[in-house]
Amino acid sequence: MSEKDYLKDISEIKDIMNRSTRFISLSGLSGILAGTYALIGAYIAYMLLGDANYNFDYSTEILKTNYTTLSSLKNSLIGVALIVAFLSVISAYFLTKQKAKKNNENIWTPASRQLISSFAIPMITGGVFIFLLIQKGIYGIAAPAALIFYGLALINASKYTLSQVRFLGVLEILLGLLALVFFGNGLLFWILGFGILHIIYGALMYFKMERN
Amino acid sequence: MKDIIKNINKLFDHRIRLGIMSALMVNDTLDFNTLKELLDVTDGNLASHIKALEKSDYIKIRKSFIGKKTNTKYNATHLGTLEFKKHLTALERIINNKL
């Protein structure tokens, strides 16, 4: 065997180690779409909150309208968030499937299974945590908590996919903590974290790896 | 130089066997189909190379059942891991010496 073959062996070893532990076909385009859905969702939420503010008496901090309005507002906001999350997951699934096909990568591999479970555990924990907060009438920290748990889920999952995902996770956590510092601006940080960051990250990934 | 060549493991001097070992270095266990996809080889080809590695005690085969279907998983043994590391070091040395 010549030295060139030995070099080839080394690169082959590296390639197989990477491919067997990392699922790299995550689509950048799906990040752009998820960000767009989040922006549209935030706009709808803003309109809903605006309507509610109209009925809000700041001197007594009590909603003039009856309790059902508050409860239906709560339900509509949760509904918007769930629809945004659902559409993002569906888009990510189909675009990733398409990209995997192009890369000749199977979508259901040990690496992708690890990726999903390591993402899902912090994410579902966060989802239940926020749901329980809202049930107890604590709304203020829902948006910061969503950003923080999402960031933790990304960092946890980044071991099994593109390492840049880790960086996105760190930024989401920072935004979540800042949302607590600047308490009461949940929607703004939601727009930054789930909207703008996703679009920037998705676009960077797309232009870096998929444009050809 | 002869010393280094001695550490080159003949068993790893083959793309598929090298691939099986590389994958098992970074995964606790892998099943047959995953290895097949990863290395892009036929059933028979993979099976014969697995057998060769198993015979040298570099990998271990574990059979279990999922319902009625058998599920065969492979993992690297301690010996296999050691030998693979030795092989890697030898490869590195050869390349460093010649460059």
Contact A10 B15 (CB under 8 A): no
Q: How far is A159 from chain B, CA to nearest CA, in Å?
A: 12
**Residue A211, pLDDT score:** 66
Say how far residue A186 (Cα) sits from the centre of its chain.
Answer: 16
Nearest CA in chain A to B17: A13
* CB-CB under 8 Å, B95 with A6: yes
Domain total in chain A = 1
CA–CA min distance B15, chain A (Å): 8
* Lateral strand order in the sheet of B30-31: B30-31, B69-76, B59-66
Verify whether the Cβ–Cβ distance A9 to B18 is below 8 Å: yes
Tokens at A115, concatenated: 């990726």
Q: Helices A110-135 and A142-157, interaxial angle, to 10°?
A: 170
**What domain range includes position A54?**
28-210
Handedness of CA A85, A91, A97, A100 (dihedral sign): negative
Each residue's pLDDT tens digit, A133-165: 988 888 889 999 999 999 999 999 999 998 899
Residues of B in contact with A6 (CB under 8 A): 91, 94-95
Please check whether residue A7 lies inside any domain of the structure.
no
Measured from the Cβ of residue A94, the count of other Cβ atoms closer than 10 Å reads 13
Q: What is the pTM of this model?
A: 0.79
Residue B75, beta-bridge partner list = B60
Provide the shortest C-alpha distance from residue B69 to chain A (in Å).
19
Burial of A112 (0-12, 13-18, 19+ CB in 10 A): buried
Task: Count Cα neighbours of B5 within 13 Å in the Cβ-side half-sphere.
Answer: 5
Domain membership of residue A142 (yes or no) is: yes
CA distance A109 to chain B (A): 7
Which of B61, B75, B22, B35 lies closest to A9 in space, CA to CA?
B22
A76: left (phi over 0), alpha (psi -120 to 50) or beta: alpha
Residues from chain A contacting residue B95 (CB–CB below 8 Å)? 3, 6-7, 10
Nearest 10 degrees: Cα torsion A68, A71, A76, A78 = -170
Checking if the pLDDT of A119 tops 90, the result is yes
- Contact call for B25 and A9, based on CB within 8 A: no
> What is the percent of chain A with per-residue pLDDT over 90, rounded to a whole number?
52
d(CA B38, CA B25): 14
Amino acid at A112: S
Q: Calculate mean pLDDT across residues B33-47.
A: 90
Q: Is residue A1 part of a domain?
A: no
Q: Which has the higher per-residue pLDDT, A30 or A104?
A: A30
Q: Are A139 and A163 in contact (CB under 8 A)?
A: no
* Percentage of residues of chain B with pLDDT beyond 70: 92
Tell me the mean pLDDT in the region B49-56.
Answer: 94
pLDDT band at residue A30 using 50, 70 and 90 as cut-offs: very high
Whether B17 contacts B52, CB under 8 Å: yes
pLDDT over threshold 60, residue B47: yes
Find the mean pLDDT for residues A116-135: 94
Q: How far is CA A50 from CA A4, A42, A54, A55, A78, in A?
A: 68, 12, 6, 9, 16
Q: Do A12 and B26 touch (CB under 8 A)?
A: no
**Model pLDDT for residues A55-72, shown as the tens digit of each residue:** 554 444 455 555 566 778
Residue A22 lies in a domain: no
In this predicted structure, which of A103-112, A123-132, B56-65 has the lowest mean pLDDT? Answer: A103-112
Does the domain made of B2-98 have the CATH classification 3.20.20.70? no
pLDDT band, very low/low/confident/very high, at A210 (cuts 50, 70, 90) = low
What is the four-CA torsion angle of A72, A180, A125, A34, rounded to 10 degrees? 70
Structure token digits, residue A11: 């690169």
The interface predicted TM-score of the complex, written ipTM, equals 0.83
> Under an 8 A CB cutoff, do A12 and B18 touch?
yes
Q: Per-residue pLDDT averaged across A152-179, rounded? A: 95
Mean per-residue pLDDT of chain B: 88
Probe site for chain A from B91, B93, B96 (most A CB atoms < 10 A) = B91
In a domain, A95, yes or no: yes
Taking only the tens place, the pLDDT of each residue in B59-86 is: 999 888 878 888 889 999 999 999 999 9
- How far apart CA A23 and CA A6 sit, in angstroms, is 26
Tokens (6 digits) for A97: 């499937």
Task: Tell me phi and psi for residue A90, to 5 degrees.
Answer: -60, -45
Q: Residue B94: is its pLDDT beyond 60?
A: yes
Scanning the structure block, which residue is given the tokens 């940080």? A189
Which residue in this structure is represented by tokens 């999350």? A85
Out of A23-27, A47-51, A124-128, A157-161, least confident range? A47-51
How far apart are alpha carbons A46 and B88 in whole angstroms? 59
Which of A88-92, A135-139, B38-42, B95-99 has the weakest average pLDDT? B95-99
Distances (CA, A) of A86 to A91, A122, A144, A161, A186: 9, 17, 20, 21, 21
